[in-house]
């Protein structure tokens, strides 16, 4: 699984050989093992790189499932908004489906991605919402006139939304297409809420309702404000909290409802049972991992129970949550024993990447505080899902070179890289939710992507990571993070694999020579891109192209005394201080 306790016996079995190696070094003897155990994580999912799509916005592979006449006067297909700076957002369905995704898996895999994260697939309401506030340029959580094209307004968590499947391309078929290519399917799940539940002028069918596997109604908000619900007296209200939105100054926003969404009561055992059974169904259908939406809106004790139940069904099942918070201490709690023991999206790193590679053009040193390579709050920082933007925020506002530099960092530094659809060509850069962030991508853009310099360079670095164990799960040691240049090692030594990657980055407009005098591993290295031999002596002094990356590989255990000692100290500290270990694999 991702992040969890292991038995004392297992921990001892891994730590004692490490201590023995340290003891041997102290008395001048060579280690008896072929290579010391050195790694950032042994979590299998950390090998992956993830391409994230809002399924409805990717490619319309089957117009037959568009349901263009759905919703009547509250239609659901193609609902454009007034333009924001010349670009119109859209809050209706636009036709993207499983077929469109399956037809382009070769495109995604060719870029170097090995996993696809899709938005929720559960059934959503069949009309546009009439409550809430109207959306506008820059607004969030304003849902009037919107549809459930994004999938986050579940009404039946066992049933696939009718806009997604096609004959011969149901959810299991999509999963099978990924698995046939050796790829993995990450399913977005929601545990905090269902669909919008009140403020409608007249109650609409499905909104604020929840149905079970057999289509029976198990919860109904009945278009009532939360304070008017009667969970004790009305069984249909028992799924929901009776607390409404919490105003500023009266508590945390996480204490109340998110917008007008029906807020599930985490203290009700029936809620946990429903969600565990429903999401277990999608595991049976082929889901390989979960991304957990709005994880911070429910208590960590709920997620601990949920993750334990899911892993009873599928040991080792990887999950990462969305806690939209730039304070690492706040989001790290979800990675800890008793609080969920899942990974999280790395929002502090997202904030730093946006400043370094976006229009602010901050120096590489801005990334260092977000790395938490030592003494950080996370159970394992190497298992975080790293990203620079997504569907809930403006896309990164960067030049082509900024995207190239961001990808060179994202696919070589610690963490599991996640890239939002279209970023491989700089699609809708800088655009917020209602101003183009979730615009339709389409087959024509995919077919033309190979001509984009962003795509070309992303493909180069992502495919390298896919072939390089050290870049996937190796421990990171920074040598230089300053201004427009960066240098660091990634070291992976485990079960007969010994590989060190030396990564050199330059985000400047001119070639630069990167010089490093400390922690140098001398010897024969090879260029990871062209295979040429590179000899390193007592210092590193190598030129890196403008907006470029160089990766040198050494397929042997680390021998340089100072570097080896540092790595072993890091491993010992993590073994004693992390409080959690990861599953070997």
Burial of 143 (0-12, 13-18, 19+ CB in 10 A): buried
* Integer CA distances (angstroms), 331 to 173, 193, 337, 421, in order: 35, 20, 14, 25
d(CA 311, CA 421): 29
* Integer CA distances (angstroms), 304 to 145, 342, 493, in order: 36, 9, 32
Q: Report the candidate in 405, 406, 403, 408 with the shortest Cα–Cα distance to residue 426.
A: 403
Contact 80, 90 (CB under 8 A): yes
Contact 461, 408 (CB under 8 A): yes
Rounded to two decimals, the pTM is: 0.92
Name the 3-class secondary structure at 1.
coil
DSSP 8-state symbol, 90: B
DSSP 8-state symbol, 101: H
- pLDDT value for 247: 67
Sequence-distant (6+) residues with CB within 8 A of 281 are 158, 213
DSSP 8-state symbol, 482: E
Name the 3-class secondary structure at 328.
helix
d(CA 454, CA 267): 47
If the chain, 585 residues long, is cut into consecutive pieces of 10 residues, what is the mean pLDDT of each piece?
34 36 36 73 98 98 98 98 95 98 98 98 98 93 96 98 98 98 98 97 98 98 97 97 76 79 97 98 98 96 98 98 96 98 98 98 98 95 98 97 98 98 98 96 98 98 98 98 98 97 98 97 98 97 98 97 97 72 35
Q: Which single residue is written with the structure tokens 């259908």?
A: 285
Q: Topology of domain 49-196+286-467, per CATH?
A: TIM Barrel (3.20.20)
Sheet strands side by side (includes 156-160): 122-123, 156-160, 209-211, 217-220
Q: Report the candidate in 498, 585, 581 with the shortest Cα–Cα distance to residue 9.
A: 581
Q: Which single residue is written with the structure tokens 């984009």?
A: 452
**Which region holds residue 98: left if phi is over 0, alpha if psi is between -120 and 50, else beta?**
alpha
Name the 3-class secondary structure at 320.
strand
Contact 108, 179 (CB under 8 A): no
Q: Count CB-CB contacts under 10 A for residue 360.
A: 11
Kind plus residue range of the DSSP H or E element containing 526: strand 523-527
Name the 3-class secondary structure at 106.
helix
Sequence-distant (6+) residues with CB within 8 A of 451 are none
Residues of the chain within CATH 2.60.40.1180 domain(s) are: 475-577
d(CA 378, CA 343): 9
Instruction: Provide the CA 100 distance to its chain's centre, in angstroms.
Output: 22
- pLDDT value for 582: 37
Sequence-distant (6+) residues with CB within 8 A of 531 are none
d(CA 224, CA 241): 12
Name the 3-class secondary structure at 94.
coil
Q: Is 475-577 a domain of CATH 2.60.40.1180?
A: yes
Residues of the chain within CATH 3.20.20.80 domain(s) are: 49-196+286-467
């Amino acid at each position: 699984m991702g992040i969890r306790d292991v038995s004392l016996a297992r921990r001892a079995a891994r730590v004692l050989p490490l201590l023995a190696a340290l003891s041997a070094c102290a008395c001048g003897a060579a280690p008896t093992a072929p290579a010391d155990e050195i790694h950032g994580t042994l979590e299998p999912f950390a090998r992956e790189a993830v391409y994230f799509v809002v399924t409805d916005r990717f490619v319309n592979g089957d117009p037959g499932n568009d349901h263009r006449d759905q919703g009547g006067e509250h239609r659901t297909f193609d609902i454009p908004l007034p333009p924001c700076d010349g670009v119109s957002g859209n809050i209706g369905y636009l036709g993207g489906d499983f077929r469109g995704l399956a037809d382009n898996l070769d495109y995604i895999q060719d870029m170097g991605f090995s996993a696809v994260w899709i938005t929720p697939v559960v059934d959503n309401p069949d009309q546009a919402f009439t409550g809430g506030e109207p959306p506008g340029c820059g607004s969030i959580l304003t849902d009037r006139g919107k549809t459930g094209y994004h999938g986050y307004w579940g009404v039946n968590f066992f049933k696939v939304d009718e806009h997604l499947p096609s004959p011969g391309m149901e959810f299991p078929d999509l999963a099978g297409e990924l698995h046939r290519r050796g790829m993995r399917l990450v399913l977005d799940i929601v545990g905090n809420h269902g669909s919008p539940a009140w403020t409608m002028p007249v109650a609409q069918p499905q909104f604020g309702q929840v149905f079970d596997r057999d289509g029976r109604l198990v919860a109904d908000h009945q278009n009532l404000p939360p304070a008017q619900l009667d969970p004790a007296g009305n069984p249909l209200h028992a799924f929901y909290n009776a607390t409404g939105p919490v105003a500023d100054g009266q508590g945390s926003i996480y204490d109340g409802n998110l917008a007008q969404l029906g807020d599930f009561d985490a203290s009700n055992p029936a809620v946990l049972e429903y969600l565990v059974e429903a999401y277990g169904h999608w595991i049976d259908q082929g889901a390989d991992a979960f991304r957990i939406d709005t994880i911070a809106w429910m208590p960590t004790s709920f997620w601990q129970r949920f993750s334990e139940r899911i892993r009873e069904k599928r040991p080792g099942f990887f999950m990462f949550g969305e806690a939209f918070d730039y304070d690492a201490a706040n989001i790290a709690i979800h990675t800890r024993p008793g609080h969920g023991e899942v990974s999280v999206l790395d929002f502090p790193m997202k904030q730093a990447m946006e400043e370094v590679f976006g229009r602010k053009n901050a120096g590489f040193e801005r990334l260092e505080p977000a790395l938490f390579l030592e003494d950080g709050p996370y159970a394992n920082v190497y298992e975080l899902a790293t990203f620079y933007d997504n569907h809930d925020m403006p896309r990164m506002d960067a030049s082509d070179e900024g995207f190239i530099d961001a990808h060179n960092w994202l696919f070589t530094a610690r963490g599991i890289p996640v890239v939002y659809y279209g970023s491989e060509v700089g699609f809708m850069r800088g655009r917020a939710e209602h101003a183009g962030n979730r615009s339709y991508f389409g087959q024509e853009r995919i077919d033309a992507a190979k001509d984009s310099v962003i795509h070309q360079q992303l493909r180069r670095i992502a495919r390298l990571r896919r072939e390089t164990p050290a870049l996937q799960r190796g421990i990171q040691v920074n040598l230089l993070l300053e201004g427009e240049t960066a240098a660091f090692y990634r070291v992976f030594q485990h079960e007969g694999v010994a590989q060190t990657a030396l990564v050199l980055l330059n985000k400047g407009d001119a070639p630069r020579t990167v010089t490093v005098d400390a922690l140098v591993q001398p010897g024969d290295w090879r260029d990871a891109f062209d295979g040429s031999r590179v000899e390193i002596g007592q210092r590193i002094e190598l030129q890196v192209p403008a907006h470029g990356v160089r990766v040198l590989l050494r397929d042997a255990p680390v021998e340089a005394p100072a570097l080896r000692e540092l790595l072993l100290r890091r491993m010992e500290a993590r073994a004693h201080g992390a409080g959690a270990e990861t599953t070997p694999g």
